[in-house]
Amino acid sequence: MALKTPQEYLDDLRKMNINLYMFGEKIENYVDHPIIRPSINAMAMTYKLAQDPEHEDLMTATSSLTGEKINRFCHLHQSPEDLIKKVKMLRLLGQKTGCCFQRCVGMDAFNAVYNTTYEIDQANGTNYHQRFVDFMKYVQENDLAVDGCMTDARGDRSKRPGEQPDPDAYLRVVERREDGVVVRGCKLHQTGMINSHEMLVMPNNTLKDDEKDWAICFAIPVDTPGMIYVYGRQSCDTRKLEGGDVDTGNKYFGGQEVMTIFNNVFVPNERIFMNGEVEFSGTLVERFAGYHRQSYGGCKVGVGDTLIGAAKAITDYQGVSKASHVKDKLIEMCHLNETLYSCGIACSAEGRKTAAGNFLIDLLLANICKLNVTRFPYEIARLAQDLAGGFFVTMPSEKDFANPEIGSLVKKYSTSRSDVPVEHRQRMLRLIENLTMGCAAVGYLTESMHGAGSPQAQRIMITRLVDLEHRKELAEKLCGVKENTDVDWK
């Protein structure tokens, strides 16, 4: 099986034994839970579009390991064109779901671990890379959704992993056996974790020689014994329990964030891809972060497209679309969104081949991309709220509209244009609320800020990667402070 159908994916989830808690209670049937199911639907879309001939070029690729047709989310990038198609694929999925579809974290982890394990083996004579190749073949042949795990609980941020009062603040090895290791700790903000088949775990930091226990990279099934999951709260999440679909905004899809606890979990040797090689921990972190920062030039742009569309729709519904300031704001939203997309395409086009054979994005431009993503979606959201008007946060609930005593009055005073059904206005305003304040805002705004590292993380990388001395020398040559040997004609 090279490509799963959405139904086969759902069948897989139903077979898994997940130890999940939400609102203080253990959840048994999470696949059909009304709060969780929209996020599963979003992940299922990554399977549906891969079956669609119209999107085959973006959604599928030829495996460099097996030669078979596979889902692009399981692919190891083989060219700048692959990197560009990745960004275009993510934009498409953002447009189709209007939320985080959760599968790109694993894809970005695949590519970072692939080239990093190759370099570890070259330096140390280990066999991590072949183990990882075997794992990737398994993932590709079964079209598995894999969640990438990097962010630890981190405890006291002023202290390194090895200095924490509680050493479990960063996931670590607590026992070493002949056949594997036992790990303990917690990974936070895990997007789509319980919607995945497997997880690929990486260290969170550049580590020192006395921090080998924290330099661990491995893959395990999501339902491995000892794993505990706690579902994250999102704004307006309980609206999904109310029975209607107008007030949820996004009728079909949603995101997911999970606290992922490793409570003395065994990892077999064949699933370990780094074990104490602290000198490569920083390389793995930087490469994964780079790939994931590239992703934001696609996924957040696609969601931005839906928000721009909602803003356009509501100005039409409310009869203000011809006003010049409305047109200006919509164009500004498009300008900001396409700028983000341009950054994602640029860092892809400038990608280079690694020693392992897969392609790495231009790290500087990927960090520029993500730093812009920490800003522009917030301005896009602000403009959308401006165009929506205050009614998008003061509008009564859909149950008030349906109430036999007051419903007719609520509808009467919620009418805008007479030729636009009141319900259309309701739904579009709720979608804008969802994207800028509700559940989808986690996948659009909060992820834009903190996903793949907060703004300071990008600034640190930009500082490392930008050659300011070279730029200084360019200026000095032009103004005559330094000799300009390029001008050698008379």
Enter the tokens of residue 55. Answer: 């999107």
Question: What's the gap between Cα 241 and its chain centre?
Answer: 26
Burial class of residue 52 in the structure, from the number of CB atoms within 10 Å of its CB (0-12 exposed, 13-18 middle, 19+ buried)? exposed
Considering the candidates 77, 189, 197, 292, report the single residue annotated as catalytic: 292
424-450 as b/e, with b when 16 or more CB fall inside 10 Å?
A: ebbbbbbbbbbbbbbbbbbbbbbbbee
Give the CA radius of gyration of the chain.
24
Considering the candidates 198, 257, 277, 286, report the single residue annotated as catalytic: 257
Contact (CB, 8 A) for 305 and 337: yes
Considering the candidates 9, 33, 77, 104, report the single residue annotated as catalytic: 104
| Residue 292 annotated to the active site | yes
Q: 221 has which bridge partners?
A: 198
Enter the tokens of residue 43. Answer: 């992940």
Task: List Cα–Cα distances, 365 to 122, 347, 368, 461, in angstroms.
Answer: 28, 5, 5, 10
Contact (CB, 8 A) for 66 and 74: no
Considering the candidates 99, 149, 186, 299, report the single residue annotated as catalytic: 299
Nearest partner of 40 among 74, 82, 12, 67, judged by Cα: 12
Considering the candidates 119, 398, 433, 447, report the single residue annotated as catalytic: 447
Coil, strand or helix at 70: strand
Q: Is the dihedral of CA 262, 268, 271, 274 positive or negative?
A: positive
| Residue 100 annotated to the active site | yes
Q: Is the dihedral of CA 395, 401, 404, 409 positive or negative?
A: positive
Pairing of strands 352-353, 359-360: antiparallel
| Residue 299 annotated to the active site | yes
Question: What's the gap between Cα 244 and its chain centre?
Answer: 28
Coil, strand or helix at 325: helix
> Phi/psi class of residue 300: alpha, beta or left (left: φ > 0; alpha: ψ in -120 to 50)?
alpha
| Residue 296 annotated to the active site | yes
| Residue 217 annotated to the active site | no
What is the Cα–Cα distance from 225 to 20, expressed in whole angstroms? 12
Considering the candidates 116, 117, 191, 315, report the single residue annotated as catalytic: 191
Helix-helix angle 376-388:324-349, to 10 degrees: 160
Considering the candidates 170, 296, 317, 341, report the single residue annotated as catalytic: 296
| Residue 369 annotated to the active site | no
322-350 as b/e, with b when 16 or more CB fall inside 10 Å?
A: eeeebeebbeebeebbeebbebbbbbbee
| Residue 25 annotated to the active site | no
Enter the tokens of residue 477. Answer: 């040559």
Residues catalogued as catalytic? 100, 104, 191, 257, 292, 296, 299, 447
